[in-house]
């Protein structure tokens, strides 16, 4: 049987599944059940999901959790997080509570500039091109007027168009580098529509437009979040020593890319979870953040920490291009729910909240790594998962958690201890 097919997209959902089951699962009914058990009984919701993408055959759930007690710029937030990794929400909640009694998080938006480019080739005289651009610039802006009308009303629009000479890097290659303010929308469609209008106004026989597209690299769409306290208030015992270890852990991530990637992955645990919960594009955020981490030619930590005059300070500066209107944000009921939970924030407020979620996660990871190690927490989770898998009663569960408090958790050890318990009953 051939595993390729023509006209697949024209089949109904059931026909698509029939084809899959027959070709990849040897007609196994269990595979069909796996897909159908994730369908939503509510037709409106299922139709909505079916229409988000093409060839939808089921829904792929992520746990949706919340982390309360985040005090950010004096305001209390309960933060929604969509993530499959255990411990992330728990860590966020613990850290939120911890810092709520130490002044909370301070956050500020540094800039909100977004970027798009028309990439083109030109073989002629550079000065002539510059002249053409100078005389044409007004028309380029005019060509976008109908597209930018609503955005301008909301305080956004095109900030500037620049001609950039890139011929040193690639023969004949130039760009129109366009900067945008998109206020509360992520602005991808808006930016791309403007760029295409600009490109067709600019193009002529000697100018060969290659492509017009927004850049997900937005180093000037920047937010900063910070926590600080007296060093002696950071840990119950041995605070100065442990705070110093914490700072050194960040310094290591600043100079060692192998560590920096893991360090930043921990930050993204918090960031992605809120980005997804609020219906934003986590791929755009991820690609931008990592390019930013390498902006000086070497991949480094996104966060920084210092101890100065007895004050411990820990902060992050990160580019985040987010939207709070339009896109999935307004379509997905859980994204809408998340937005309402956050008090329907502006894009700037959401930037601050999400930067804080990243910093909190990084704080939790570094605090664990430089004290008990992270396996203790993970193993606790591992233990409860094994106990759950064994179908243990509540009493047995409590006994086993106590029993393994000071012992190494392995699957075999837990099964053995459980079997003994059951035998002695
Ligand atoms: C695990 O998802 C994230 C950590 O590895 C982050 C870090 O090492 O900083 C714990």
Looking at residue 382, its pLDDT comes to 83
Kindly report, residue by residue over 223-244, the tens digit of the pLDDT: 999 999 999 999 999 999 999 9
pLDDT of residue 57: 97
Atom number, ligand 1, closest to the C-alpha of residue 85: 2
Burial class (CB in 10 A: 0-12, 13-18, 19+), 80: buried
Q: What is the pLDDT of residue 379?
A: 79
Please give the distance of CA 387 from its chain centroid, rounded to a whole number.
Answer: 32
Q: Is CATH 3.10.20.440 the right assignment for the domain spanning 114-215? A: no
Q: What is the pLDDT of residue 424?
A: 77
* Ligand 1 geometric centre to CA of 263 (Å): 6
Distance 357 CA to ligand 1 centre (A): 14
- DSSP letters of 183-210? TTB--HHHHHHHHHHHHHHH-BTTEEEE
Q: Give the catalytic positions in this structure.
A: 85, 265, 281, 378
Instruction: Find out whether the beta carbon of 253 lies less than 6 Å from any atom of ligand 1.
Output: no
Enumerate residues 6+ apart whose C-beta is below 8 A from 386. Answer: 409, 411, 414, 415
Q: Within 10 A of 101 (CB to CB), how many other CB atoms are there?
A: 11
- What is the predicted pLDDT for the residue at 406? 86
75-82 vs 64-72, strand pairing mode? antiparallel
Ligand 1 site, residue 265, Cβ cutoff 6 A = yes
Structure confidence at residue 2 (pLDDT): 66
> Which protein residue's CA is at the shortest distance from atom 2 of ligand 1?
266
Burial of residue 291 (number of CB atoms within 10 Å: 0-12, 13-18, 19+): middle
Instruction: Determine contact, residues 242/234, Cβ cutoff 8 Å.
Output: yes
CA 182 vs. chain centroid, Å, equals: 19
Residues of the chain with pLDDT under 50: none
Q: How far does the centroid of ligand 1 lie from the alpha carbon of residue 365, in Å?
A: 6
Architecture of the domain delimited by 64-109+223-371: Alpha-Beta Complex (3.90)
Is residue 139 within 8 Å of 201, Cβ to Cβ? yes
Per-residue model confidence as pLDDT tens digits over 28-41: 999 999 999 999 99
Closest CA to 139 of 99, 90, 198: 198
- Would the CB of 374 count as within 6 Å of ligand 1? yes
User: How confident is the model over 90-126, as pLDDT tens digits?
Assistant: 999 999 999 999 999 999 999 999 999 999 999 999 9
């Amino acid at each position: 049987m051939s595993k390729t097919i023509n006209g697949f997209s024209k089949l109904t959902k059931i026909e698509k599944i029939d084809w899959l089951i027959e070709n990849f699962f040897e007609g196994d009914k269990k595979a069909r059940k796996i897909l159908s058990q994730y369908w939503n009984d509510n037709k409106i919701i299922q139709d909505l999901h079916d229409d988000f993408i093409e060839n939808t055959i089921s829904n792929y759930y992520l746990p949706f959790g919340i982390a309360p007690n985040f005090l950010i710029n004096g305001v209390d937030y309960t933060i929604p997080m969509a993530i499959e990794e255990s411990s992330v929400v728990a860590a966020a909640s613990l850290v939120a509570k911890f810092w709520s009694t130490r002044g909370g998080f301070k956050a500020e938006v540094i800039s909100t500039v977004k970027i798009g480019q028309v990439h083109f080739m030109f073989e002629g005289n550079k000065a002539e091109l510059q002249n053409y651009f100078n005389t044409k610039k007004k028309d380029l802006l005019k060509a976008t007027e109908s597209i930018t009308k609503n955005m301008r009303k909301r305080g956004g629009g095109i900030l500037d168009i620049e001609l950039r000479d890139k011929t040193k890097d690639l023969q004949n290659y130039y760009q129109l580098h366009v900067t945008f303010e998109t206020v509360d929308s992520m602005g991808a469609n808006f930016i791309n529509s403007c760029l295409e209008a600009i490109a067709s106004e600019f193009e002529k026989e000697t100018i060969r437009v290659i492509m017009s597209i927004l850049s997900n690299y937005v180093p000037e769409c920047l937010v900063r979040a910070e926590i600080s306290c007296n060093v002696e208030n950071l840990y119950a015992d041995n605070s100065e020593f442990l705070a110093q270890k914490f700072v050194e852990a960040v310094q290591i991530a600043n100079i060692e890319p192998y560590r920096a990637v893991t360090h930043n992955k921990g930050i993204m645990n918090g960031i992605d979870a809120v980005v997804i919960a609020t219906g934003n594009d986590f791929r755009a955020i991820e690609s931008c953040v990592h390019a930013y981490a390498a902006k000086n030619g070497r991949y480094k930590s996104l966060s920084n920490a210092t101890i100065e005059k007895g004050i411990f300070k820990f902060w992050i500066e990160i580019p985040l291009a987010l939207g709070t209107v339009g896109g999935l944000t307004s379509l997905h009921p859980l994204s809408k729910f998340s937005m309402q939970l956050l008090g329907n924030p502006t894009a700037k407020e959401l930037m601050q909240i999400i930067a804080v979620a990243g910093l909190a996660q990084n704080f939790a990871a570094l605090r664990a790594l430089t004290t008990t190690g992270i396996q203790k927490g993970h193993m606790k989770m591992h233990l409860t998962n094994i106990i759950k898998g064994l179908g243990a009663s509540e009493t047995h569960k409590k006994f086993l958690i106590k029993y393994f408090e000071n012992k190494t958790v392995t699957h075999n050890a837990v099964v053995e201890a459980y079997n003994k318990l059951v035998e002695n009953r």
